[in-house]
Amino acid sequence: MPRKLRRDLPEFVVRTAQEEGWSAFKNGDLLTRASQAFDVLVTTDQRMRFQQNMPRFGIGVVVIESRDTRLIHLRPLLAQMRDAIATVAPGQVVIVRPASHHLT
């Protein structure tokens, strides 16, 4: 996710995996570390929910399905992102996708 997106989500504390020093960690280790520090992980990794047993982690996960991670494609999803971040429960995965969902 682009760091600049945090400007559009001022009501949340937004940190990147890179800022936390977690870039080298794979999904399971990343989820474990994130669950110790945060309530929600926002990711564009659409495979994570299939590769991990999400309920075992004490963190909600919001998966953004977008053509790419450029702000022009993410900003139209901000209202859905806010709702998902605010309501996702620990161990739950919420998918945020464009209404037309034609990703090419």
Domain borders along the chain are 14-96
Task: List strands edge to edge, sheet with 40-43.
Answer: 40-43, 60-64, 93-96
- Taking the C-alpha atoms of residue 3 and residue 79, their distance in angstroms, rounded to an integer, is 18
Q: What mean pLDDT do residues 47-75 have?
A: 88
In one letter, which amino acid is 78?
A: L
- Rounded to two decimals, the pTM is 0.87
Q: Which amino acid is at 56?
A: R
* Chain position carrying tokens 């605010």: 86
| pLDDT for position 60 | 94
> Which tokens in the block code for residue 81?
């992102």
Percent residues over pLDDT 70 in the chain:
95
- Given a cut of 50, is residue 104 above it in pLDDT? no
Secondary structure of residue 63 in the 3-state scheme = strand
